[in-house]
């Protein structure tokens, strides 16, 4: 592994995105617009919105980075750039971490803008403060990136890759406690929720919304999300082969 190659890869991924303004615009502004829409969906139910909106800040980066990174790495596999890289002295982890780093930067901007909308424009009170919200959102983004990189190994086409989103993200979205509290769910569904990472990503933001400062639960949530992300990044590196 080499930090120089990891950084060069991250910079290259960011340059690609910079040349694709429309994608960047969609990544940055769609969450903001949706949050504003959600605010008016819950018109007159300010309390419901106040407890819902911060959680969404953890879901957008996870979902968007999942999609973007799975398509981006699938493109590396299908266009031959990965073929070329694998004949060069780059470690597989340099490649994976480069992507994770680049998308974390994008996620930081996205989360910054979305948080500005939620905390500033829509005046949702968050006891834990902006910094923790941003950490929670970036960790969710790294998790999304990690899973996107990983599943792209199992997709042969873009059509398959985008289908991994409903297959992989939706079950977690339904069970993570965003719509229904987890202790109201059927046992098996609860078990599923207990082992899936989005649950902890959303719970972290719930903790940040309700409590100021750190708590044992928040530390556990962050630890689970970080551990999951790192483990899946390593698994993603394993799916890349020097020889096919």
Partner 1 sequence: MDTSVSIRRLGVAAGRAPLLKDITVDIPAGKIVGLLGPSGAGKTTLMRAIVGRQRLTSGEVSVLGQPAGSARIRRRIGYMTQGLSVYTDLTVQENLRYFAAMLGVGRQEAGRVIAEVDLAAQSRQLVRTLSGGQKSRVSLAAALLGRPDLLVLDEPTVGVDPVLRQQLWHLFRELAGQGKTLIVSSHVMDEASRCDDLILIRQGSVLAHGAPQTLCRQTGARDVEGAFLKLVETPA
How near is the Cβ of 4 to partner 1 at its closest, in Å? 7
Is residue 98 within 8 Å of residue 233, measured between CB atoms? no
Q: Which two tokens stand for residue 39?
A: 């605010």
**Nearer to partner 1 by C-beta: 19 or 187?**
19
**Nearer to partner 1 by C-beta: 89 or 216?**
89
CA distance 155 to 105: 26
CA distance 114 to 141: 13
How near is the Cβ of 22 to partner 1 at its closest, in Å? 12
Contacts of 200 (CB under 8 A, 6+ apart): 220, 221, 224, 225, 228
**Nearer to partner 1 by C-beta: 23 or 160?**
23
Contacts of 171 (CB under 8 A, 6+ apart): 192, 196
**Nearer to partner 1 by C-beta: 59 or 67?**
67
How near is the Cβ of 16 to partner 1 at its closest, in Å? 5
Measured N-to-C along each axis, helices 92-115 and 21-41 cross at an angle, to the nearest 10 degrees, of: 40
Coarse DSSP helix, strand, coil percentages of the chain, rounded to the nearest 5 percent: 80, 0, 20
Cα dihedral value 207, 209, 212, 215, nearest 10: 10
How near is the Cβ of 158 to partner 1 at its closest, in Å? 15
Q: How far is CA 27 from CA 17, 19, 20, 22, 42, in A?
A: 10, 14, 11, 9, 24
How near is the Cβ of 47 to partner 1 at its closest, in Å? 45
**Nearer to partner 1 by C-beta: 83 or 158?**
83
**Which chain residues interact with partner 1 by CB under 8 A?**
4-5, 8-9, 11-12, 15-16, 19-20, 79-81, 83-90, 242-244
How near is the Cβ of 228 to partner 1 at its closest, in Å? 29
**Nearer to partner 1 by C-beta: 82 or 111?**
82
How near is the Cβ of 21 to partner 1 at its closest, in Å? 11
**Nearer to partner 1 by C-beta: 77 or 182?**
77
φ/ψ (deg, to 5) at 90: -115, 135
């Amino acid at each position: 592994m080499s930090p120089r190659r990891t950084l060069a890869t991250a910079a290259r991924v960011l340059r690609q995105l910079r040349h694709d303004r429309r994608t960047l615009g969609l990544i940055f502004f769609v969450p903001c617009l949706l949050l504003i829409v959600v605010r008016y969906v819950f018109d007159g139910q300010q309390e419901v919105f106040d407890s819902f909106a911060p959680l969404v800040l953890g879901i957008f980066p996870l979902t968007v980075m999942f999609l973007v990174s799975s398509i981006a790495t699938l493109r590396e596999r299908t266009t031959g750039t990965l073929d070329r890289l694998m004949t060069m002295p780059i470690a597989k982890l340099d490649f994976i971490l480069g992507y994770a780093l680049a998308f974390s930067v994008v996620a930081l901007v996205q989360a910054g803008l979305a948080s500005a909308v939620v905390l500033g424009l829509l005046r949702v009170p968050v006891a834990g403060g902006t910094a923790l919200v941003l950490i929670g959102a970036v960790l969710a983004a790294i998790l999304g990136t990690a899973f996107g990189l990983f599943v792209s190994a199992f997709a042969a086409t873009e059509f398959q890759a985008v289908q991994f989103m409903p297959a992989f993200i939706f079950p977690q979205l339904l069970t993570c406690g965003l719509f229904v509290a987890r202790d109201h769910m059927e046992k098996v569904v609860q078990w599923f929720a207990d082992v899936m990472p989005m649950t902890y990503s959303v719970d972290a933001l719930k903790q940040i919304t309700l409590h100021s400062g750190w708590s044992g639960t928040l530390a556990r949530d962050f630890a689970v999300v970080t551990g999951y992300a790192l483990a899946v990044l390593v698994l993603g590196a394993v799916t890349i082969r020097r020889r096919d």
